[in-house]
Chains A and B, each alone.
Chain A
Amino acid sequence: MYHKTKSYKVFSIFNYTLLAVLSLVCLIPLIHILAVSFSGKAPANANLVGLLPVQFTIDAYSQTLANENFLRSLWVSFVRTGLGTLISMIVVICAAYPLSKENSNFKRKKVYTWFFVFTMLFNGGLIPFYILIQKLNMMNTLWVLILPGAVSVWNMILLLNFFKNVPKELEEAAFIDGAGYLRTLVSVYLPVSMPAIATISLFAMVGHWNSWFDGLIFMTDHKNYPLATFLQTIIVQQDFSKVSVRPEDLESISQRTVKAAQIFIGMAPILFVYPFLQRFFVKGIVIGAVKE
């Protein structure tokens, strides 16, 4: 009955307080952004908004949802994230499974593994990469956002190690029942690796959703910007020291509330993904499958 002891209670209190503070640190900025997005322009620009909206209005949202550029970017991001995650997961699983096997089953496994790891350590740099994309005629296509990063070596190594920890007996049992390698992967490995696959999918998803630089560089038409690139271009502060500012278009510059609304709308989809993936994070699926 250790949880009855005094020291354990103290520890619990401390623990919960720390976690509560940590989550507040993450939550308060979000609440502030939400408050700004529902506030009037003038108080938002003067930084008078705290955690509650001032001069409540939903103008910022109606303006954002009427902005076709924003909606188009949102769509590009959805397609990119969906397709990108799917393709990335397929190639990563296909690569991790064979590389997780013993040396005796797969000669030169080490060579292949290093072949992958090498790309983690060295790359050609931006300009060769740019020229490559150009020569492949991938500029300004959706594929440029999806294919270059599809083989994520880091994710592959994570998955490879997870596969290694799956008890060999499961695979042997499958083989005895007449399954081949592919069948074993699909029917045995994938179900028991759900926690790892969910985690890595989430990594891939968040990565795709937040990636902005590739969109900026490779999209020759700003209509094809993914949302992250679009947001990045509106949120960064402008420098007017180089431009002839005319009073008549200053109105469009000070749109802190609209920015806040756009940030929030851009963040919401990826926030909603977490709870749905939550159930896959549960470990211990292999318990009882193997009798030692």
Chain B
Amino acid sequence: MLNKLKKPFTVLMSATMLAGVLAACGNNTEAGTTNSSSDSFYSAGFENGKYTEPVSITTVFPIGSNVKFKNGENIDNNVHTKWAKETLGIDIKYLWTVSEQNNAYQTKLRLMLTSGQEMPDIVAFRGEPTLISDLIESGQFTDAGELFDKYASETYKQAMAEDPSVWNPYIRDGKRMGIPILENAYNNDPVMYIREDWLKAVNLKAPTTLDELEKVMDAFVNQDPDKNGEKDTTALSVGFKVNLNTWMSDSGWIFGMFGAMPNQWNLGADGTLLYGSIQPEMKPALAKMQEWMAKGYIDKEAGLYDEVKATEAFTAGKSGIIVGPYWMTGWPIPDLLKNVKGADYKAYPLPAGPDGKIGRHGTSTSTGAVLINKDMKNKDAFFVYQNYLFDNWANPKEGGEFENGFAENYDFALDPNGKPYPATETDKVPGGWVDPIRYTLTFDGAIIPSLRLNTLAKLAGGAEPTTRFEKNMSLSLPKQLEAAKIVIDQKAATMPQMFTGVPTKTQLSKNDMLTKLEKEVLNKIIYGKVSVDEFDSFVEQYLASGGKKVTEEVNEWYATVK
């Protein structure tokens, strides 16, 4: 049904981008907070960090599954909108809201676009770059980079400068048309979780190499690690219904051991971008997976499991190893401890391949952008809002407004002595814990990409928390700190997705078919239905059916942003 809406426009890629536009090289206009209203820096009267007369920002909003309200509040009227009005003099108005799932937000934005409705002042969107591209093409949005250089605060600029490539997808004719929404770096980079009690039961230590890993896996399948007298365990939980290289129950690292990384564009030795799934390094890894499938190390259904379904065997205590992000320590792995008495797990670094290679997929520092309407009356208002969050929320100050969280009795509660309860004790919040930062214009308040995981890793290393942020983070589960530390320790193994542009012309026309072909052949190989040598003819076929053209187009794009 939604497919009818697919890409009604051909996306025009502009090939005349300026090379190496850096976020931070604009002239550093100090967005001070002491400007008086006579100063024309702001578009409306502005005193002490606040608009004297409320200015309004209109927007649209996807209600994610993690957006919850209390006290009868809703998205139009809640602790966050009140805060914006009282603290900053900004009145946020929502033209419409929609649930986030099933691309509903995307669908509605697209309908807005095609039916020629007037666009809101700002549109924030996370997800497929095609829609943002179409919105930019509509010509209703302004050069956001210019505004960013003028109005963004120092903290905001520094956060953006951590990875200048975040602008790449939104550059048109040298103009930065969208402001990237920043995410936590390394957030989805995987670590390996192993059943600690199983390791003890089979009397082996955690694997650091492929050979050791295979010994452990063999023991997990054949030596009855759960001691129930039945051969009912698998060694490794993976789910590759969607992709081999994926966000949970990942198998990308298996390929990483051989220097390959499927389902993404990697930087080749010759400095060009290569599509991971068709590189020769894939072959030995596919052979391994085929072998593991035959030996029962991997579940026979793995090809039908999505990322969540594949975790079930692990949380049910029927599988010994799973690979995924550090936050799996918060969900879903704790279910294991509830389901299986005496179960214990631990995070370990990813093992090294035959030549000592370790490889894992990365995490994008940005997955979306904010577009600013060219007819917006007070374009600076968005920056006043975002600067405040970057200065006060992203890395809060001691005694600052957000030191414990966004708002008392929403995302934190104070005990009788005026001390905040630890973040893990959400049940202490009267009337239930909700997370108001989720109501913010860019969905997560303000994120300094490098801060979170590095802080967790630092604390795991035994550092004393000094800043407020560190103190808040130090209340995380110990297992979470450990996992985060391993993610950071293995930083060098990250193989980032190098193509962040808009889908190219041939990708739009051929991708469905190419993806289908790739899935079919790789699954057949892993399931042992065809020999690994089938891979070579698959690569030929892939290149002939459009893969070659796509590679050229992707590299044309890469040449413009290098």
Digitize B330-369: 1 where CB-to-A-CB distance is under 8 Å, 0 elsewhere.
1110111011000000000000000000000000000110
CA distance A199 to B455 in the complex (A): 64
Q: A41-B335, A250-B330 are in contact. Are A238 and B65 (CB under 8 A)?
A: yes
Question: Who on chain B is nearest to A45 by CB?
Answer: B335
Q: Give A residues with C-beta under 8 Å from B.
A: 40-43, 45-48, 68, 125-127, 130-131, 134, 140, 213, 216-217, 219-223, 225, 229-230, 232-234, 236-254
A-B contact pairs, 25 of them (CB 8 A): A42-B315, A46-B312, A46-B339, A47-B312, A126-B5, A140-B96, A213-B1, A217-B107, A217-B111, A220-B95, A220-B96, A220-B98, A225-B99, A233-B100, A233-B101, A238-B101, A240-B247, A240-B307, A244-B187, A245-B188, A246-B327, A247-B327, A247-B329, A250-B331, A253-B66
CB neighbours (8 Å) of B312 from chain A are 45-47
CA distance A67 to B311 in the complex (A): 28
CA distance A233 to B107 in the complex (A): 14
The answer to whether B338 and A241 have CB atoms under 8 Å apart is no
Partner of B102, one of A225, A233, A243, A252: A233
Is B559 part of the contact surface with A, judged by Cβ < 8 Å?
A: no
Closest chain-A Cβ to B344's Cβ sits at a distance in Å of 15
Closest chain-B Cβ to A16's Cβ sits at a distance in Å of 34
CA distance A242 to B367 in the complex (A): 6
Q: From residue 153 to 205 of chain B, which have CB atoms closer than 8 A to chain A?
A: 183-184, 187-188
Partner of A42, one of B74, B104, B307, B339: B339
CA distance A125 to B4 in the complex (A): 9
Q: A222-B63, A240-B247 are in contact. Are A252 and B68 (CB under 8 A)?
A: yes
Q: Give B residues with C-beta under 8 Å from A.
A: 1, 4-5, 63-66, 68, 72, 74, 95-102, 104, 107-108, 111, 114-115, 117, 126-127, 183-184, 187-188, 246-248, 306-309, 312, 315-317, 325, 327, 329-332, 334-336, 338-339, 367-368, 423, 426, 435, 438, 444, 447, 476-477, 480
The answer to whether A244 and B447 have CB atoms under 8 Å apart is yes
CA distance A245 to B307 in the complex (A): 15
The answer to whether A216 and B104 have CB atoms under 8 Å apart is yes
CA distance A238 to B98 in the complex (A): 15
CA distance A134 to B102 in the complex (A): 22
Partner of A46, one of B1, B184, B248, B316: B316
The answer to whether B102 and A232 have CB atoms under 8 Å apart is yes
Closest chain-B Cβ to A65's Cβ sits at a distance in Å of 15
Partner of A242, one of B126, B316, B334, B426: B126
The answer to whether A130 and B115 have CB atoms under 8 Å apart is yes
CA distance A234 to B99 in the complex (A): 9
The answer to whether A48 and B339 have CB atoms under 8 Å apart is yes
Q: A131-B115, A217-B111 are in contact. Are A240 and B332 (CB under 8 A)?
A: no
The answer to whether B99 and A127 have CB atoms under 8 Å apart is no
The answer to whether B327 and A45 have CB atoms under 8 Å apart is no
CA distance A45 to B4 in the complex (A): 34
CA distance A138 to B312 in the complex (A): 45
The answer to whether B476 and A249 have CB atoms under 8 Å apart is no
CB neighbours (8 Å) of A248 from chain B are 330, 423, 426, 435
Q: A233-B104, A242-B367, A245-B187 are in contact. Are A221 and B327 (CB under 8 A)?
A: no
Partner of B97, one of A40, A41, A222, A252: A222
Apart from A41-B338, A245-B327, list 7 A-B contacts with CB within 8 A: A45-B335, A126-B5, A221-B96, A236-B101, A244-B447, A247-B476, A253-B331
Q: A41-B335, A243-B367 are in contact. Are A234 and B65 (CB under 8 A)?
A: yes
Question: Who on chain A is nearest to B115 by CB?
Answer: A131
Question: Who on chain A is nearest to B367 by CB?
Answer: A242
CB neighbours (8 Å) of A250 from chain B are 327, 330-331
| Of listed B117, B329, B338, B438, residue having the most chain A CB within 10 A | B338
Q: A216-B104, A240-B248 are in contact. Are A134 and B115 (CB under 8 A)?
A: yes
Closest chain-B Cβ to A139's Cβ sits at a distance in Å of 8
